[in-house]
Amino acid sequence: MWGKIRALMTGKLIGNLSGPKKRTGEGSAEGLTSASEEGPEKSHGEEGGGITSSGWSGIDITMATSEINPDSGPVNPNVQHSSGIMYVMPYVASAHGSVGLGERLEKFNGKDFKRWQQKMLFYLTTLNLARFLQEDAPDLGENPDRQTVVTADAWKHSDFLCKNYILNGLDNALYNVYSPMVNVKALWESLERKYKTEDADSKKFVVGKFLDFKMVDSKTVISQVQEFQLILHDIHAEGMVLGESFQVAALIEKLPPTWKDFKNYLNHKQNEPRTYSEAMSSPEAPHWKEAVNSEIESIMQNHTWELVDLPPGNKLLGCKWIFKRKMKADGMIKKYKA
């Protein structure tokens, strides 16, 4: 129907936990150091295991795991431990050095928050940091022991990373506004409160544009149809769906007053029955039945057909009725034709 109206108007991420052991510093990411800064160099295999993953969009991710002995001295700053709880700080390396995944996102400038939020959530999930968007800081209590302190420090470090990945995905103006946030949960919730509300307001704005749009005689119809299609595109971008028949009917109603006759023609054209059953079940059924009988009577009088009995073994061939309204110059119906 749209075409007719136009014509009328002109990671994978792969890891091997049991693979060959790898000494720290041999092919490892720069951010991973030996378990002891003063003692002899040790391999990760001596402490637990090494994980080297690659093949995910050209990015190498190297992590180390180990068991901690509280009395063993300095530990790898990129691996936080707490009596069975291990926090691995992600280190992402590429040919150009370390790259935060937040930097790969299009900077959020206040528009299309939902799309940006989904992309950011995906990146944080790949780094195992998404849970910090909802977690509160561990409670240290009055007299925390060493294990509690280590756990809290590990949480703060992960929260710091998560927060700065998000900040790095913001436009400079928004970065300055949200950088003072105390933790990533507060940052995330603040962004949601502001921009989810604005997204809802954006939907209202687009719907308002659709309802208020009217064609005028001072502009060409083609340019106004294009403007109307842009509004429909904005509505679709907001996740709202309008059926094609609704779009066509809306466009007809928005034609300028001088197009009244054409509007009536299009409205009647759109509502013409397509089958015999539609014609006979419509409110105008008596008019369509009269049109059918008139056509059959005309055919019989002109001897177009000759009535005969159906020979044995033969089948009847059906015919298709085409129903049209003949309009007057003022747009009123002059005659029903079949």
- Within this chain, do residues 192 and 253 fall inside the same structural domain, yes or no? no
Q: Give yes or no for a contact between 69 and 76, defined as CB atoms under 8 angstroms apart.
A: no
Which regions of the chain does DSSP assign to beta strands (E)? 48-56, 59-66, 79-82, 85-88, 92-94, 97-98, 324-327, 333-337
* CA dist list (Å): 199 to 83, 84, 192, 231, 241: 45, 43, 10, 16, 17
pLDDT of the residue at 288: 66
pLDDT value of position 187 = 93
- Final residue in a domain of this structure, among 63, 78, 99: 99
Q: Mark whether 180 and 135 lie in a shared domain.
A: yes
What domain range is 252 assigned to? 217-267
Q: Measure the CA–CA gap between 59 and 88, rounded to whole angstroms.
A: 17
Tell me: do 72 and 46 sit in the same domain. yes
Q: How many domains does the chain have?
A: 4
Could you tell me if 120 and 144 lie in one domain? yes
Q: How far apart are CA 204 and CA 289, in angstroms?
A: 47
Secondary structure letter of residue 33 according to DSSP: -
Q: Are residues 280 and 255 in the same domain?
A: no
Each residue's pLDDT tens digit in the chain (338 positions)?
Answer: 555 555 555 443 334 434 444 444 444 333 333 333 344 444 334 443 433 333 333 333 333 333 344 444 444 444 444 444 444 444 443 333 344 444 467 888 888 788 898 899 999 999 999 999 998 988 888 888 888 899 899 999 999 999 999 999 999 989 999 999 999 999 999 998 888 777 666 777 788 888 888 888 888 888 888 888 888 888 887 778 888 778 877 887 888 877 776 766 665 555 666 677 777 777 777 876 777 777 777 777 777 777 778 888 888 777 777 666 666 665 566 566 65
pLDDT of residue 54: 35
Radius of gyration of the chain (CA): 36
337 bridge partner residues? 324
In a domain, 209, yes or no: no
Position 114 scores a pLDDT of 83
pLDDT for position 248? 78
Same domain, 117 and 193: yes
Say what the pLDDT of residue 139 is. Answer: 85
Cα–Cα dist 140/145, whole Å: 9
Tell me the two tokens of residue 55.
């093949």
Q: Of the candidates 33, 67, 99, which is a domain's last residue?
A: 99
What is the number of residues in the chain?
338
Gap between the Cα atoms of 102 and 174, Å rounded: 15
Query: Can you give the pLDDT at residue 138?
Result: 86
Q: Could you say which of 143, 164, 199 is where a domain stops?
A: 199
Flag whether 139 is in a domain.
yes
76 and 163 inside one domain? no
Instruction: Check whether residue 282 and residue 258 sit in a common domain.
Output: no
Residue 29's pLDDT is 38
Indicate whether 89 belongs to any domain: yes
**Residue 10: predicted pLDDT:** 45
Q: State whether 254 and 278 are in the same domain.
A: no
What are the tens digits of pLDDT across the range 222-252? 888 888 888 888 888 777 888 877 887 788 7
